[in-house]
A and B are shown apart, each in its own frame.
Chain A
Amino acid sequence: AQSVTQLDSQVPVFEEAPVELRCNYSSSVSVYLFWYVQYPNQGLQLLLKYLSGSTLVESINGFEAEFNKSQTSFHLRKPSVHISDTAEYFCAVTNAGGTSYGKLTFGQGTILTVHP
């Protein structure tokens, strides 16, 4: 069985401040890791993913996440947030092998609110 814990349910920050959204996971097998974002009144969009290779992965809009196997973490960071980053962020994992690639286990979500 797998589980994902997002340690903060809500994170308020001011515009241009740095932010870190924390994610820890538990799994007995190797995993792939994802961050999804849900903007208001929209579906979930993939922000970034770790499948293999470099443990630091980046998104096109300035977010990055680092896979830390020893600490079973996949924290999401951005050095300077914008108002438009206000959204709910979900960390998710899936088995790295087998046929269950799309069977995601999600964390509880973190609502990021960026204030002017």
Chain B
Amino acid sequence: EAGVTQFPSHSVIEKGQTVTLRCDPISGHDNLYWYRRVMGKEIKFLLHFVKESKQDESGMPNNRFLAERTGGTYSTLKVQPAELEDSGVYFCASRITRGSPLHFGNGTRLTVT
């Protein structure tokens, strides 16, 4: 089966611009997560979708971040406008059932200059 796919793998944008990251979970995985690792820090939870609904968005840093999962398939994470501190690696993960492990994508490395 195909794994979790993230696009793009790298993105370099200027401060104030908008960037949209995409995640395609494993087919049939209702649970989708976004995580972020800022340089030198630990990986932190951003939010959790169950199908198209946001189950938990307690980790979203501020209202410049908007996550969507229309139709309960792929998800997008938009940063608008981007700030320097948004630089880092954004990971997406999915799982099928409660006891099953998270499957992570390779991440999107975002650099804001």
Contacts and interface: CB of A to CB of B under 8 A. Distances in A.
Nearest to B47: A103
B93 interface: yes
A95 B106 CA distance: 25
The interface residues of chain B, by DSSP majority, are classed as strand
B104 A103 contact: no
B102 A102 contact: yes
B101 A104 contact: no
The interface residues of chain A, by DSSP majority, are classed as loop
Residues of A in contact with B, size category: 20 to 34
Interface of B: 3-4, 31, 33, 35, 41-45, 48, 55-56, 91, 93, 95, 98-99, 101-102, 104-107
Interface of A: 4, 34, 36, 41-46, 49, 51, 90, 99-109
10 contacts: A4-B42, A34-B101, A43-B106, A45-B104, A49-B101, A99-B55, A101-B98, A101-B99, A103-B48, A106-B42
